């Protein structure tokens, strides 16, 4: 006999254990060779969120956003802190926590309608808002704001706040056509409105030149324009002559 009866009996008694022992040995061996490797944490500070995500995936790191912090001088979504810090060793698939920058909420647009320019100016100065102001005839009392853009309480994200202030109820003048007229005649007609004009020569004039014989060939405002003749906001008249 190749094996003694005692040894054969021993084998038969404990043969049922062998599958479990093989499984346990295989599991431990597999766990040993597949355990996570240690890697060096990359520097993510200063990168954008998409860039940080790609870098973390490249290193088999799980990226987690811890919170956002208001940073007016940085674009939205810039990594400003990370934990663990760059250069430290961690296991693969370990979590890396980051904090992202966030722009502050834009200020609310102040309500200016119904207020005078003197009241509006300090309000805008306090909020650091620049304005473009236009004066138009309107039923609102003179000097009061009757329209604005953006509207009150809307987030202010425009470069300027556009305001329209009332000149009071006025009737506009249909601006006359000066083209083809001699400059003295055009200036005489402007004196009816108490206005003067800035003369622009189409060609360089000679020494000692006067405008007595010059003829108007272009003008601003254009003929037919509706012009409000307000004493505080007189129109700027230009006559191009030759």
Q: Tokens in use for 66? A: 């811890």
Answer whether residue 1 shows pLDDT above 60: no
Flag whether 68 is in a domain: yes
Q: Tell me the per-residue pLDDT of 184-229, one tens digit each, with 9 for 90 and over.
A: 999 988 887 788 899 998 887 777 778 888 999 999 999 999 887 7
Q: Are residues 200 and 140 in the same domain?
A: no
Q: Tell me the per-residue pLDDT of 128-167, one tens digit each, with 9 for 90 and over.
A: 999 999 998 888 888 999 999 999 999 999 999 999 999 8
Nearest to 108 by CA among 66, 170, 157: 157
User: How many Å apart are CA 47 and CA 41, to the nearest integer?
Assistant: 14
Percent of the chain at pLDDT > 90 equals 57
Flag whether 157 is in a domain: yes
Flag whether 196 is in a domain: yes
Q: In what order do the strands lie in the sheet with 161-166?
A: 131-136, 161-166, 145-149
Enumerate helices (H) and strands (E) in the chain, giving the number of each.
Answer: 5, 13
User: How many Å apart are CA 19 and CA 177, to the nearest integer?
Assistant: 109
Q: What pLDDT, on a 0 to 100 scale, did the predictor assign at position 227? A: 85
The structural domain count of the chain equals 3
Flag whether 223 is in a domain: yes
Q: Are residues 125 and 84 in the same domain?
A: no
Q: Which helix (H) or strand (E) holds 71?
A: none
Answer whether residue 169 shows pLDDT above 80: no
- Residue pair 181/213 in contact by the 8 Å Cβ criterion: no
Sign of torsion over alpha carbons 211, 212, 217, 221: positive
Q: What pLDDT, on a 0 to 100 scale, did the predictor assign at position 182? A: 93
Flag whether 91 is in a domain: yes
Q: Are residues 45 and 86 in the same domain?
A: yes
If phi over 0 gives left and psi between -120 and 50 gives alpha, with beta otherwise, what is residue 53? Answer: alpha
Domain that holds residue 153: 117-166
Answer whether residue 10 shows pLDDT above 90: no
Q: What pLDDT, on a 0 to 100 scale, did the predictor assign at position 6? A: 60
For residues 28 and 241, the model is more confident at 241
Q: Would you call 119 helix, strand, or coil by DSSP?
A: helix
Q: What pLDDT, on a 0 to 100 scale, did the predictor assign at position 95? A: 93
């Amino acid at each position: 006999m190749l094996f003694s009866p005692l040894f054969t009996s021993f084998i038969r008694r404990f043969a049922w254990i062998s599958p479990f022992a093989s499984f346990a040995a295989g599991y431990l061996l597999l766990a040993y060779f597949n355990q996570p490797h240690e890697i060096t944490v990359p520097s993510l500070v200063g990168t954008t969120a998409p860039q940080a995500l790609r870098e973390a995936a490249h290193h088999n790191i799980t990226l987690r956003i811890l919170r956002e912090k208001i940073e007016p001088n940085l674009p939205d979504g810039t990594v400003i802190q990370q934990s663990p810090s760059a250069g430290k060793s961690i296991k693969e698939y370990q979590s890396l926590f980051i904090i992202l920058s966030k722009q502050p909420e834009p200020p609310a647009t102040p309500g200016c309608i119904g207020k005078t320019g003197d009241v509006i100016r300090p309000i805008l100065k306090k909020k650091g808002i620049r304005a473009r102001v236009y004066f138009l005839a309107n039923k609102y009392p003179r000097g009061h704001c009757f329209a604005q853009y953006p509207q009150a309480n809307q987030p202010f994200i425009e470069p300027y706040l556009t305001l329209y202030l009332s000149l009071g109820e006025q009737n506009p003048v249909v601006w006359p056509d000066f083209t083809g007229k001699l400059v003295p005649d055009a200036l005489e007609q402007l004196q009816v409105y108490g206005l003067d004009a800035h003369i622009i020569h189409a060609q360089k004039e000679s020494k000692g030149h006067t405008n007595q014989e010059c003829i108007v060939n272009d003008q601003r405002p254009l003929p037919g324009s509706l012009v409000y003749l307000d004493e505080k906001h007189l129109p700027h008249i230009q006559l191009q002559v030759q």
